[in-house]
Structure 1
Amino acid sequence: MDTASFGGFLRTLLIIVLCYYAFKFAMRYLFPLFIYKVAKKAEQNFQQKQQNYREQQNTAQETKSSNHFESGGMREKKKVGEYIEFEELD
């Protein structure tokens, strides 16, 4: 069985300390950049959806207004059913 040497212990301790500081550096400087990019992308998606919604609303209004002008400004009445006239019996 091998015994642990003092040099191996120092090397392991050094690796742990370097990993700790690398992680600390990443969290302090790189993580905020990552969050900034994610927020920017979410904002762009939101604006794109908002623009698509506005375009759909404009298209719907144009269609509605063009149908209004084509029909001469009058709406067609819906045919519900047959009209029956009743007489009152004495």
Structure 2
Amino acid sequence: MAFLKTILIILLVYYLLKILARLFAPKILSYAAKKTESHFRQAFDNQHPYNEQEEESVIINKKPTRKKKDSEKVGEYIDFEELD
């Protein structure tokens, strides 16, 4: 009889925890998400402080690409013919 009572108590505790987890899990997860967001926002703001300054113009000069000559091409063209 004690064995049955122990199994019954374990099952009741299991289902009680399952019900409580369904009730409180969304609140706990939203709290954790807010804390994580604030942590990342604070870390980003510390790394890149926002200053109201004029934006600096950036000029990128690229060298013109040169075309490859026929002798510089890799490999060769092979024409395959279909045999009957």
TM-score, normalized by length of structure 1?
A: 0.45
Which is higher, the Rg of structure 1 or of structure 2? 1
Higher share in helix = 1
More relative contact order, 1 or 2 (CA 8 Å, 6+ apart):
1
TM-score, normalized by length of structure 2?
A: 0.48
